[in-house]
Structure 1
Amino acid sequence: MRTTRRELIRLGALAAAAMALPGLAHAAQPVPIARAARPMRILILGGTGFTGPFQVQYALARGHQVTLFNRGKRPSPEWPGEVEQLHGDRNSGDLSALRGRQWDVCIDNPTSLPFWVRDAGLALKGNVGHYLFISTISVYADGSRPGITEDAPLAAYKGKDAMAETQQTLMADVENLYGPLKALSEAEAWKQFGDNVAVVRPGYIVGPRDETDRFTYWPHRVAQGGEVLVPGDGKDPIQVIDGRDLGEWMIRLAEARTFGTFNAVGPREPLLMDAMLETSRSVSGSSATFTHVAPEFLVEKKVDLPIWVPRGEGPYAGYGQVSNARAVGAGLTFRPLATTVAETLEWFGSQPAERQAKLRAGITREREAEVLKAWHARPRATAG
C-alpha cells in the first residue's frame, strides 16, 4: 500500500503530536541545539549511511568542524553547513588522504573487519585524540542470557587469519564471522589508539533512513490495518534505538572525551512486543487487530519475523534484555517510541512507490493471511 500525499500530511501531524499520547510521552518537546563549549575537528569514517548523517547534522549544529572519509560512491545528503569530503578505499588500504592531518576525534561507523581498524590506526597514528568505534551486541559469546553487560565474554574467532578476512569472506559466512570479527575489530581499536577509545555496541538501530525495514515492517503493517499476525504472547521484550539518538549521543561522547565500552540499546524502560504494536496502532490511527501465534507454530510454518526474539528460547533470547545502564549513565537518551514510529512512517511513506511496494524484512500480506488461516484452523485441545 503506497502512502498518499494526504497520508504524508496526516503522519507529519501525528509525529508532531506523538509526545502528547497518554502513556507514551516521556520527554519534553525538542529544544534548539546549543553550541558546544569547545568546537572540535571531527573525522567521520563513512558518514553517508544510516547513522552517519545524523552525526554530521548534530555535530554541525553544535558548531564542530566535520570531515568525512569514504569512497565517494554514495551521494551525500545536503548538509546544513560546510563539510569537508575526503575519498579513499579501505578495502585496498588507500587511506593516503588521512595522512598528515589532525583531528580531535575519529568516529568509525562502517567497520566490520579488523584490518580496517589497523590501517586507520597506522594512517592516523598520533593525529587523533579520541577514537569512537561502532560495534554491535552480536560480539557477545552467549546471547541467550538476559541482562548482558559490557563485561560478558566475547565471541571467539575460529578462522585462520582474522587480518586476511575481507568483505567477501565475511558475507559468505556472516552468521559465524560477523560477531567474532567485530570483537577483534574492537580489540584492534584498543591496540591502535590506546586508552583513548569508546566502543559503542548497538542492537537494532531503527527510525527514518533505516533501509533494512526490520523495525519499519511493524508500524507499516499495523498502519495498513486488518488482522496482524503477532509472534508469541506479546510479552517478549524488544530493544531498539533510534538512529538519531545513537548518532547524537556519539557526538556528546566525543565532546565529553568519554572512554570505555557501552551497550547502546533502548528504550530506557523495558518494552514488550504488544506495547510496540499498540504504540504503532495509536500513532497511525489504525483499526488493526492483533492475533498472537505460538512460537512453535511459527517455527513449524517457517515464518521469520524481524526484531522479535522469543524469550527464553534459542541462542539470542537475551538480546531483548541487554543492560544499557552504563550507556544511560554516560548520557544516552531516548526520544519517545511514538515519535520514532510516526517519523518512520512519514519517512517510509515519502519513498518511491517501488521502494514501498516490497519491504526488505517481514512477510507479505499473502503469506501472513495463509499462516493466520492455518492457525485458526488448527486442531484445538478439548477438556477431558
Structure 2
Amino acid sequence: MSMRILVLGGTGFLGRHVIQEALARGYCTTILDRGACEPTLFASHPEIERLRGDRNTDISALAEHVFDGVVDTSGYNAAQMKRTAAVLRRASSGAHWVYISSISAYASFPSGRDYDESAPSQQGEVGYGANKARAEDALMSSWPLTQQTVVRPALIVGPHDPTGRFTYWPLRVARGGEVLAPGEPSSRMQYIDVRDLAAWVLSLCELRHCGIFNAVAPTVSMEQLLKECRRVTGSTAHFHWCDDRILLDAGVQPWIGLPLWLPGADPDFGGFQRASNARAVGAGLRFRPLSETIRETYEWARAEQDLPRKQVSVINAEHEAKILALLRSASTL
C-alpha cells in the first residue's frame, strides 16, 4: 500500500524536493499551500492533490483527509502548529509528523563550543529562532510524542535555493580573479544538501522514527569549500584571506555580506557551525559529496534567469575590490 503523505508548504525550496522524492517513491502525495509561490509547480503531475490554505487563518481543506505521514516545511510559530494539529486530528490522528525546525532554535552558540540536541532552546517569541522553538513546543503538546519528529537543519543548500547564500561561492569563484576569502582558512562551515534532507525526512516519516535531530553534513573548512568550488568550476581564482576584524571594520555583515562567514570570536554566534550530527547519522542521514552539491548548484544557478533578484545582499564587486586593495596595501608596509 502506498504511503499517503501530506506536505505542508510544497512549492518553495525544501518542499519541492520533498515532493519530488515522494513521487519517486510512489507515495500518494497531497500539498497544502497558499498558492503564492510558484503555483504552477507540479502542474504536469495530476496524481498530486493540491489543496489551498493559509495556516494563519483557514486550513479547513485538510479536515476530511486521511494521511499516514506529514512533512511540515512551513510551520513558523506555535499558533500555526496548534491550528494545524486541531484540524488534522479529525481524520489523521494516526499520522506521523516530521517538523522541519532549525538550528537557530538553540539558545546560543558560544565560540569554540560544540553542541548537540541536548543544548537549551531559545526562550520567548521574538525572532525566527525563538518562534521555531515555540513551534516545536506546540507540536510536542498538541500531537502524540510517539508520532512526531523534529529536524533541525543547518543551512539548507542546493538547486533552487532562493537565498543565494551557498550559491554565492561557486558563482563568485567561477568568475575568477582575486577572491576575498573571509576569516581563517580553517574556520568551520556546516550545511545540508536539500536533496539529502528531503530523502531522509521522508524515511523518518515512513519508519515513524521519533526524536529531535540536527540535520548537518560533515563539517568542512572554508578553505576546503573554496578550493572545491575552484576545482569544480575550473576557475583560476586566487584567494585572499582576510581577518574577521578587518571585514567587520569594513562594514561587511557576517553571514550575509560574505555568506557562511561568522567571526569565530563572536560570543553569541561563534559556535553556530559546530553542531553534532551523530544522532542523525545514527538515524540514517546520509550525504552526497560536497563536489556534487557545488556542481549541481552551480549548474542550476547559471541557468536561472532571475537569480540576482533572489539573492541576499552580498557585498558588491566594488566593495570587495576596496577590501582587496586594503589587504594589498597592508602587505607592502
TM class, shorter-length: over 0.9
Runs of 4+, deviation exceeding 6 Å: none
Give the distance between the partners of 2:267 and 2:172, measured in 1 at CA: 26
- Secondary structure at 1:198's aligned position in 2? strand
- Secondary structure at 2:151's aligned position in 1? strand
- 1:220-261 per-residue CA deviation (whole Å, 9 max, x = no partner) reads 100000000001121100001111111111111111111110
The partner residue of 2:229 within 259, 280, 285 is 280
Q: CA deviation at 1:131?
A: 0.8
Give the distance between the partners of 2:188 and 2:208, measured in 1 at CA: 32
- Residue 134 of structure 1 is matched in structure 2 by 100
Give the distance between the partners of 2:119 and 2:51, measured in 1 at CA: 37
More divergent stretch after superposition (64-73 vs 139-148)? 139-148
Do the aligned residues in 1 keep the contact of 2:163 with 2:310 (CA within 8 Å)? no
- 1:318-356 per-residue CA deviation (whole Å, 9 max, x = no partner) reads 12110011011111111111111111111111111x534
The partner residue of 2:14 within 48, 51, 72 is 51
Q: Which has the higher contact order (CA 8 A, sep 6+)?
A: 1
Give the distance between the partners of 1:223 and 1:133, measured in 2 at CA: 36
RMSD: 1.7
- 1:140-174 per-residue CA deviation (whole Å, 9 max, x = no partner) reads 112125321111111110xxxx5xxxxxxxxxxxx
- Secondary structure at 2:127's aligned position in 1? helix
Judging changes above 3 Å, is the alpha-carbon distance between structure 1 residues 278 and 81 closer, same or farther for their aligned structure 2 residues? farther
Give the distance between the partners of 1:95 and 1:87, measured in 2 at CA: 8
Code of the residue aligned with 1:119 in structure 2: it is: R
1:150 aligns with 2:117: yes
Give the distance between the partners of 2:215 and 2:310, measured in 1 at CA: 29
Judging changes above 3 Å, is the alpha-carbon distance between structure 1 residues 81 and 87 closer, same or farther for their aligned structure 2 residues? closer
Give the distance between the partners of 1:68 and 1:135, measured in 2 at CA: 19
Q: CA deviation at 1:214?
A: 0.5
- Residue 190 of structure 1 is matched in structure 2 by 140
Code of the residue aligned with 2:108 in structure 1: it is: D
1:363 aligns with 2:315: yes
Structure 1 unmatched ranges of 5 or more: 1-37, 163-175
Give the distance between the partners of 1:317 and 1:361, measured in 2 at CA: 21
- 1:251-295 per-residue CA deviation (whole Å, 9 max, x = no partner) reads 1111111111000111x3x30000000000000000000000111
TM-score normalised according to structure 2 size: 0.93
- Residue 107 of structure 1 is matched in structure 2 by 71
- 1:291-330 per-residue CA deviation (whole Å, 9 max, x = no partner) reads 0011110111111211122334331111211001101111
Give the distance between the partners of 1:81 and 1:95, measured in 2 at CA: 22
- Residue 249 of structure 1 is matched in structure 2 by 200
Give the distance between the partners of 2:59 and 2:47, measured in 1 at CA: 22
- Residue 131 of structure 2 is matched in structure 1 by 181
Do the aligned residues in 2 keep the contact of 1:67 with 1:83 (CA within 8 Å)? yes
- Residue 221 of structure 1 is matched in structure 2 by 172
TM-score normalised according to structure 1 size: 0.81
Code of the residue aligned with 1:53 in structure 2: it is: R
Do the aligned residues in 2 keep the contact of 1:239 with 1:271 (CA within 8 Å)? yes
Code of the residue aligned with 1:137 in structure 2: it is: I
Give the distance between the partners of 1:370 and 1:258, measured in 2 at CA: 51
Judging changes above 3 Å, is the alpha-carbon distance between structure 1 residues 233 and 255 closer, same or farther for their aligned structure 2 residues? same
Code of the residue aligned with 2:283 in structure 1: it is: A
- Residue 62 of structure 1 is matched in structure 2 by 25
- Secondary structure at 1:248's aligned position in 2? helix
Instruction: Report 1:326-337 matches (<5 A).
Output: 326-337=279-290
Aligned length: 323
Q: CA deviation at 1:98?
A: 0.7
Give the distance between the partners of 2:186 and 2:34, measured in 1 at CA: 44
Code of the residue aligned with 2:17 in structure 1: it is: F
- 1:92-126 per-residue CA deviation (whole Å, 9 max, x = no partner) reads 2x111011221001111111111000000100115
User: Percent identity among equivalent residues?
Assistant: 41
Give the distance between the partners of 1:102 and 1:367, measured in 2 at CA: 54
Q: CA deviation at 1:359?
A: 4.0
